[in-house]
Structure 1
Amino acid sequence: MKWMEFSVHTAQEAVEPISNILHESGASGVVIEDSNDLVREWNGAEDEIFELSQEDYPDDGVLVKAYFPLNSFLKETVEEVKQSINDLLQHNIDVGRNEVTLTEVHEEDWAQAWKKYYKPVKVSNFITIAPSWENYQAAADDELVIELDPGMAFGTGTHPSTVLCLQLLEKLIKGGEYVIDVGTGSGILAIAAAKLGAKKVEALDVDETAVESARSNSSYNHTEAAVTVRQNNLLENTKMKADVIAANILADIILRMVDEAYERLNTNGCFITSGIIASKKDEVKKALLQSGFAIVEEQMIDDWVALVAQKK
């Protein structure tokens, strides 16, 4: 089968919304090539870090690549995607160069080529993310390995916003907590929470493909006893009172759920918000404070911000 690679040269701020646009348009895979990955300082010993090749990355900005089957609807799909990306400007999202290129590829080339970007990475003091096909073995007794197969439709867990969430979960979860993961995607945050000792985790996502992926990854990591995955729009129809709510999604979506997150948390419970580009930080903080939260921690990697807000 033949596929069309849709590649857009954009800015970091637009990576998440463009990835979402591509996924909702029927893309059967998304690959992110971020020039900042070449200079980012990764945690871990030298023998744990995979050396990246500069030839695989753009000189600046980010390349977001998606794959669509070659069919009679492709032209219309491409035009709709381009228009949706242009519409991001109306929300004050920097789309960078916004240069689109189309390349025809064969399925066997695509299925293998993207995997060269995905190697085991230690993202916190205890958590290592590894692709399921690498057969990675923990280097220490206290190392928590999360093995993922993102199915070429979700991130590999090393995006700054995801790393920030994982690091904050590691700080907050001591054992026995009730956790809600909003917009679970591949299920990585829910799996991490379970491995860190959470008693019960609800992993929620509005997308059916995400629900299937999260369930599969949870089962692969033997966390299905603690993790329940279901299709749900944000926090609607959730009844569980949580000690921790994690939302690694866009700032504009976080703003819509702040009040509901406050209601769903137990007293002294924490709301981890990530996926926030630096220019949106103050707006999110203001909304959290207005809902009654206290901002107790703020972390940043590159231009991405994560906040911990506590219900007093």
Structure 2
Amino acid sequence: MKWLQIHITVDQAQVEMTESLLLSLGAVSVTLDDAEDQALLEPLPGETPLWNKVIVTGIYQQDETAPMNADALISFLETQLATGTPICHDILEDQVWERAWMDYYEPIQITDHFWIVPEWLEPPDPKAVNLKLDPGLAFGTGNHASTFLCLQWLGKTDLKGKTVIDYGCGSGILGVAALLLGAKKVYATDIDPQAVLATQQNAVLNNVSEGLFVDLPEVFNQQFTTQRADVLVANILAGPLMALAPEFSRLTQPHAEFALAGVIEEQLEDVCNAYTPLFEVIEIQKRDECWCRISGKRLA
């Protein structure tokens, strides 16, 4: 079976109307994409941000015996939309969609001897530390700049025999990496139950589940009461990071090492100001132009 895709580029204000129009004409799904490579940064609570220019794509099933006439559909859309609205179409061939999704992922080299490898692929360097990952379970595959920066930091940090906190664990990629790199124990937490499940499953996949504790924050807080971590890593967002600075100080030993990510360059000064009363900021690293990692040590 083939699928007709209609792509319409509109201003943000026209997205809802365009989406409704495509659905009313029989689209089986509608997707929204960025038309101008515009970054969407941290939203305020309750916001669902969209790009200024959006490509709205409607997908229509093409019956082999009576395929939809793309030219006629586009002509009708032109009568309903503002004059000059860019519209184009293409035909999407049927395929094994699960396989196509899997083909998107490739091994990622973090350091000379540390790789992230999708679970269905063979590691490029079998002798390296190879973290096997199911990328479909939750956010955090190593592709995003923030995750890569944290993995890179873990790869160059001495973790042998240490207790590590992975705060906002997502897929568990950072906590699992810490265990593979020699950590004695990892305590991980996330507000999303799906992230807790993903972290558990990725720990089992990498044979490190015995060294992992992961649960929602309320259970994590009950478990982690008298202990103090040697290392803390948090890849979340600037607002929560600033609010959590006193809590992170409470959770870590004097001189404990830390790394924070999920921060863009414009937020860097505010985040550093929130941490400098309690932590020594030693290094700031950037990737992909705007994403930053802040690392250093807890003050005595």
TM > 0.5 fold call: yes
Identity %: 32
Separation of aligned partners in 2, 1:309 and 1:111: 41
148, 158, 161: which is aligned to 2:133?
148
Residue 84 of structure 1 pairs with residue 47 of structure 2: yes
Once the two structures are TM-superposed, the CA of residue 100 in structure 1 deviates from its matched residue by 5.3
Separation of aligned partners in 2, 1:271 and 1:85: 31
Once the two structures are TM-superposed, the CA of residue 267 in structure 1 deviates from its matched residue by 1.0
99, 107, 115: which is aligned to 2:54?
99
Correspondence for 1:289: 276
TM-score normalised by L of structure 1: 0.68
Correspondence for 1:14: 40
Residue 132 of structure 1 pairs with residue 119 of structure 2: yes
Assess if the C-alpha contact under 8 Å between 1:13 and 1:277 holds in 2: no
Assess if the C-alpha contact under 8 Å between 2:116 and 2:130 holds in 1: yes
Correspondence for 1:243: 230
Q: 1:56-85 CA deviation, whole Å, 9 max, x = no partner?
A: xxxxxxxxxxxxxxxxxxxxxxxxxxx832
Q: 5+ unaligned residues in a row in structure 1: which ranges?
A: 22-82, 87-94
Question: Which has the greater radius of gyration?
Answer: 2
Correspondence for 2:186: 201
Once the two structures are TM-superposed, the CA of residue 170 in structure 1 deviates from its matched residue by 1.7
Identify the structure with the greater helix proportion. Answer: 1
Once the two structures are TM-superposed, the CA of residue 130 in structure 1 deviates from its matched residue by 1.1
Task: Pick closer, same or farther for the CA change 1:197–1:98 going to 2, 3 Å.
Answer: farther
Q: 1:277-303 CA deviation, whole Å, 9 max, x = no partner?
A: 11111110111113x211011111121
Correspondence for 2:82: none
Separation of aligned partners in 2, 1:202 and 1:260: 15
Amino acid in structure 2 at the alignment position of 1:193: A
Q: 1:100-159 CA deviation, whole Å, 9 max, x = no partner?
A: 52444899754333222201111223221111111x135253x11111112264242221
Residue 213 of structure 1 pairs with residue 198 of structure 2: yes
Correspondence for 2:70: none
Separation of aligned partners in 2, 1:195 and 1:301: 24
Separation of aligned partners in 1, 2:190 and 2:111: 25
* CA RMSD after TM alignment: 2.9
Separation of aligned partners in 1, 2:187 and 2:38: 29
Residue 308 of structure 1 pairs with residue 295 of structure 2: yes
Correspondence for 1:32: none
Amino acid in structure 1 at the alignment position of 2:48: I
Correspondence for 1:37: none
Once the two structures are TM-superposed, the CA of residue 173 in structure 1 deviates from its matched residue by 2.7
Count of residues in Structure 1 that have an aligned counterpart in Structure 2: 237
